[in-house]
């Protein structure tokens, strides 16, 4: 069993970007600039946005964090996005999800200029991804693909079971794994909350991507010997033994599944850091395409 070390691969990706940014600076070219919008004060969202901004600094990107009140109207938020769309210094725009209930995710995503859609959620980006055209790939599944590529894992012809069909993780993951690329070329089964024989399907899987948000859902009895396990889940579980009052759990019961797996991502330190690395790659791309 080999651990797929997201911290290590993410660092390698960030180091590569750092060099590329330094090269751009030396050539007098524009430095990539990411704008992040955070609405409200959700603890997990604060953590995610914070690490995205810190990573920008580490790599040498410019970043702008725009904090907005939880009560901001949808109209005003769309106005802020329009301003960023029209600002030539901004290369990438991300709006941290989830948004308050009175704001439509769909309207927000559709308002972002597709050429600045570094999260890859805009319908134009999704459409291009489905057609296999160059575009922004959503950061988490993009990060998983970068990790598979880094470890030179041969996915061709393998049966991948993706648990979860969200627009952010499960669905794009299923599209990328089934694409005629390397990594890719998998036969994909996508499972969701209405899937009936999930355990049987998982037992047939050469690759399992768990992205359902249910801590330790995937247990050893659901996993075939030698399977590749990608754990996307991140859930805060109450834990009085921790100073901060919670611990982070993945969707896979790591201790019992790891001995059966050929490769496995830990939580934390697996897919999470890869997500940020992929977002940075998208932001670099957004800048270098135009400048
Ligand atoms: P979501 O709630 O939008 O989607 C969950 C999906 O799981 C749904 O499609 C649902 O049908 C499916 N599901 C729920 N219960 C199921 C069950 N019992 N059996 C089969 N399918 C079931 O969640 P999401 O945004 O896709 O996120 C999933 C998990 O990944 C969460 O824990 C989230 O925190 C985590 N996440 C991690 C990263 C990262 O960087 N590592 C990024 C995004 C999301």
pLDDT digits (tens, 9 = 90+) for 196-254: 999 999 999 999 999 999 999 999 999 999 999 999 999 999 999 999 999 999 999 99
Q: What is the CATH number of the domain that holds 44?
A: 3.40.50.10860
Token pair of 283, please?
């932001």
Residues 96 and 143 placed together within one structural domain of the fold: no
> Using CA atoms, how far apart are residues 118 and 17, in angstroms rounded to an integer?
15
pLDDT digits (tens, 9 = 90+) for 51-71: 999 999 999 999 999 999 999
For residue 71, what is the DSSP state? T
283 within domain boundaries: no
**Which residue has the least CA distance to atom 30 on ligand 1?**
233
253 within domain boundaries: yes
- Please identify, among 73, 99, 114, the residue that sits at the C-terminal boundary of a domain: 114
Q: Give the chain's domain count.
A: 2
Residues 186 and 144 placed together within one structural domain of the fold: yes
Is residue 271 lining ligand 1, measured as CB closer than 6 Å?
Answer: yes
Residues 195 and 229 placed together within one structural domain of the fold: yes
> Using CA atoms, how far apart are residues 126 and 277, in angstroms rounded to an integer?
20
Domain range enclosing 74: 28-114
Residues 267 and 144 placed together within one structural domain of the fold: yes
Report residue 104 CA to chain centroid gap: 21
Token pair of 164, please?
């979860």
| Mean pLDDT computed over 257-279 | 98
> Using CA atoms, how far apart are residues 55 and 21, in angstroms rounded to an integer?
13
Which of 119, 213, 237 maximizes ligand 1 atoms within 8 Å of its Cβ, making it the mutation to test the pocket? 213
Confidence tier at 76 by pLDDT (50, 70, 90): very high
pLDDT digits (tens, 9 = 90+) for 278-289: 999 999 999 999
Confidence tier at 35 by pLDDT (50, 70, 90): very high
235 CA from centroid of ligand 1 (Å): 10
234 within domain boundaries: yes
């Amino acid at each position: 069993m080999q651990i797929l070390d997201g911290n290590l691969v993410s660092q390698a990706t960030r180091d590569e970007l750092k060099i590329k940014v330094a090269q751009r600076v030396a050539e007098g070219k524009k430095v990539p600039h990411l704008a992040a919008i955070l609405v409200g004060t959700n603890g997990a969202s604060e953590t995610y946005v914070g690490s995205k901004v810190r990573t920008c600094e580490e790599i040498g990107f410019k970043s702008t964090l725009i904090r907005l009140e939880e009560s901001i109207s949808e109209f005003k938020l769309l106005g802020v996005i329009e301003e960023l769309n029209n600002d030539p210094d901004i290369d990438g725009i991300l709006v941290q999800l989830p948004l308050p209930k009175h704001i439509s995710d769909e309207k927000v995503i559709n308002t972002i200029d597709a050429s600045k859609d570094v999260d890859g959620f805009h319908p134009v980006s999704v459409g291009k991804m489905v057609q296999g055209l160059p575009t922004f790939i959503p950061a988490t599944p993009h990060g998983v693909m970068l990790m598979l590529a880094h470890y030179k894992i041969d996915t061709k012809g393998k049966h991948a079971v993706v648990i979860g069909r969200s627009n952010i993780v499960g669905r794009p993951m299923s599209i990328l794994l089934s694409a005629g690329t390397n990594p890719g070329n998998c036969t994909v089964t996508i499972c969701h909350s209405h899937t009936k024989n999930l355990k049987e399907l998982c037992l047939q899987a050469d690759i399992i991507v768990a992205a359902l948000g249910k801590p330790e859902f995937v247990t050893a009895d659901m996993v075939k010997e030698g399977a590749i396990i990608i754990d996307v889940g991140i859930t805060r579980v109450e834990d009085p033994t921790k100073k901060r009052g919670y611990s982070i759990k993945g969707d896979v019961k790591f201790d019992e599944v790891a001995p059966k797996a050929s490769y496995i991502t830990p939580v934390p330190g697996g897919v999470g850091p890869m997500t940020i690395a992929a977002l940075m790659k998208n932001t670099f791309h957004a800048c270098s395409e135009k400048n």
